[in-house]
Amino acid sequence: MEALSGRIIPFSERRTDTPSLPKGITRLDFSLGDKRVLGYALLQGIKGSEWAAVPHQALILGKAPGLVEAEDAPEPNHHKEAESNLPRVLRALTKAECGSAFVYWQQEEGLLWLGSDRYGLKPFYYYHNKNEFAFSTNLQWLVQTSKRKFTVNYSALSQLLCLRHPFGDETLFRGIRRLPQGELLRFSAAEGKLQFVLFLSIFLCNRIPGSPSNRF
């Protein structure tokens, strides 16, 4: 099954060498100035699937209109870039079509961005507890690769049995959440904190100088 997955490695397990890459997997490593590996993202089972990559910056599962143009475009006006407060490649990724998911690593800020299409048709799950942060479009991958033993979320299970889907960002496992529709997830590697950013704010900040882009 195709999937976009990854995790931030706990401090005690971080190392300076980059692990060898398994065959058939496209990988993006996250590292800061000291070259210490903070984490990684993987594209798995993508044979025959639509996908794209920006070296050392982004992986996307699905179509990303404008991504090549954003990557190859000349350097933007710095004043305009400051107004939007978002990198050009990330703004292009927010235009991903239905059924897409992406990961973007903002190296200079140490920020990891996760997102799916604005309608939430491609599910993106995540788990965050203290120094551990993992994410995947495949819920089974999160459950099987985590050191934590997850318990059943009976509230979400009852919703699934009655309505065929859980409410909001709940999943069948306690501690694992689904990225809300119409929002991006931003993770600070230095602070270990999560923050949500509305899609609407991104579109507005590209049109209105000085518009706020973050929702706290």
Kindly tell me if the per-residue pLDDT of 209 is higher than 50: no
What confidence tens digit (pLDDT) does each residue in 105-128 have? 998 888 999 998 877 788 999 999
Model pLDDT, residue 164: 80
Name the least confident of 7-21, 83-97, 101-115, 151-165.
7-21
What confidence tens digit (pLDDT) does each residue in 91-106 have? 788 777 678 899 999 9
The CA distance from 106 to 109, in Å, is: 6
The CA distance from 165 to 128, in Å, is: 22
Q: What is the DSSP letter of 184?
A: E
Kindly tell me if the per-residue pLDDT of 75 is higher than 60: no
Kindly tell me if the per-residue pLDDT of 5 is higher than 80: yes
Model pLDDT, residue 15: 57
**Domain residue extents for the chain:** 3-10+21-205
- Residue 68 pLDDT grade (very low, low, confident, very high; cuts 50, 70, 90): low
51 pairs with which residues across the strands? 61
Kindly tell me if the per-residue pLDDT of 140 is higher than 90: yes
Model pLDDT, residue 77: 44
Model pLDDT, residue 43: 93
Report the CATH number of the 3-10+21-205 domain. Answer: 3.60.20.10
58-69 burial, b at 16+ Cβ within 10 Å, e below that, comes to bbbbbbbebbee
Kindly tell me if the per-residue pLDDT of 17 is higher than 60: no
Mean of the pLDDT values across residues 31-56? 82
Mean of the pLDDT values across residues 72-76? 45
The CA distance from 146 to 202, in Å, is: 32
163-189 burial, b at 16+ Cβ within 10 Å, e below that, comes to eeebeebbbbbeebbbbeeebbbbbeb
Going by C-alpha positions, the residue among 72, 76, 74, 96 that lies closest to residue 87 is 76
Q: What is the DSSP letter of 70?
A: H
Question: Rounded to 5 degrees, what angle do the CA atoms 203, 7, 87 make?
Answer: 25
Model pLDDT, residue 203: 53
